[in-house]
Amino acid sequence: MLTSGYPRTSRRFIEETCPERHPSEPLSDVHRDLAAALQERTEQVMLHLARRARAITGSRRLCVGGGVATNCVSIGRIIEAGVFDEVFVPPAPGDAGTAIGAAIAVHHDGHARQPLSGVTRACYLGPSFEGTALDLTLWPDLRQKTLGVETAEFLAEQLAHGMIVGLFQGRVEAGPRALGNRSILASPRERGVVERLNATVKYREPFRPFAPMVLAERAAEFFTLGQEAPYMSMASGVTDEAREMVPAIVHANGASRLQTVTRSQNPFMHEVLSAFARRTGVPVLINTSLNVKGKPICGTPAMALGCLADSGLDALLLEGRWITK
């Protein structure tokens, strides 16, 4: 496989580690060992670079960019090391986000008359489809009804009863993570929910974990990170309470890639989490992207309707409309 004209691995690397594996072939121990070794080395290098940056600059805050910044376990290692007071990863740390940053830098350095606004700490930068009429003729088995002002309470109630629900609201998230606008939500308290999500909704390997979203003001009850993680880009250790109450969001390594939600960041999801907590005592939901394996995130209403029709989702909340099969 080639990226930007350069091979990702050399022939010698392949010969001395393991042969290339086709996606349809089963994983063996040598593949698992190689992945674990590469991950461990990545963490070592990133932590070394972070310490070097601290020593050279004297800064107490670190911003990590580039595609490797999506390696949430490495970011978590840097935070846990206590090298910095705060570590920040933007919502789109890869090439697309770098382009946004470059444009902002040129705007700022060029002494533009019009000040820039709406970008700092923002992650919902894509298109919105509020008010768009829905055409269900392609999906005759789908039914819809319009919800009232208690939409968040209604959604929390369905999730508390074990439903797996797609959520399509507002503007599309920038970056690789679904952050509550193009998400699939489920209760982490349901027995077998991870197996069901992987087998009937996401159609992916059974070992794949799912990330939690949590009320920022109650995150310390369940996670040990010690800082906000608004863009689901940091892995955190978990507390005994998390292991006991929401084991579905704890990965095999004892960590979780969490998203902390504040009222200012996403008022609707903050309301849903609060309503779910009132019903269950747990301010945590499973949050994964609104798509199935091999498909992009559902950026349009038609894509979301297709995802509902073709997967094991129980329902879809699309801009205030409750859609079921």
Strands (E), the chain: 2-3, 6-7, 61-63, 86-88, 143-146, 165-168, 182-186, 211-215, 234-237, 255-261, 284-289, 315-318, 321-324
Residue 4 pLDDT grade (very low, low, confident, very high; cuts 50, 70, 90): low
Contact present, 235 and 256 (Cβ < 8 Å): yes
d(CA 309, CA 267): 28
Arithmetic mean of pLDDT, 121-139? 90
What is the DSSP code (8-state) at residue 114?
A: S
Alpha-carbon distance values, 72 to 88, 112, 275 (Å): 12, 35, 28
What are the structure tokens assigned to 72, written together? 């949430």
Domain boundaries, the chain: 8-20+29-88, 143-324
Arithmetic mean of pLDDT, 134-144? 91
Share of the chain above pLDDT 70, in %: 98
Q: How would you classify the pairing of strands 182-186 and 284-289?
A: antiparallel
Q: Can you give the pLDDT at residue 1? A: 41
Top-confidence residue, 95 or 139: 139
Q: Can you give the pLDDT at residue 5? A: 66
Arithmetic mean of pLDDT, 137-149? 91
Q: Whole-model pTM?
A: 0.89
| 146 strand-pairing partners | 321
Residue 259 pLDDT grade (very low, low, confident, very high; cuts 50, 70, 90): very high
Q: Which residues of 251-265 are buried (b: 16+ CB within 10 A; e: fewer)?
A: beeebbbbbbbeeeb
Instruction: Please state, as a whole number, how many other Cβ atoms lie within 10 Å of the Cβ of residue 241.
Output: 12
User: Which helix (H) or strand (E) segment is 156 a member of?
Assistant: helix 151-160
CATH of 143-324, one of 3.30.60.50, 3.90.870.20, 3.40.50.360, 3.40.50.300: 3.90.870.20
Alpha-carbon distance values, 118 to 92, 121, 201 (Å): 15, 8, 34
Arithmetic mean of pLDDT, 41-55? 97
d(CA 134, CA 57): 53
pLDDT digits (tens, 9 = 90+) for 6-28: 677 888 888 888 888 888 888 88
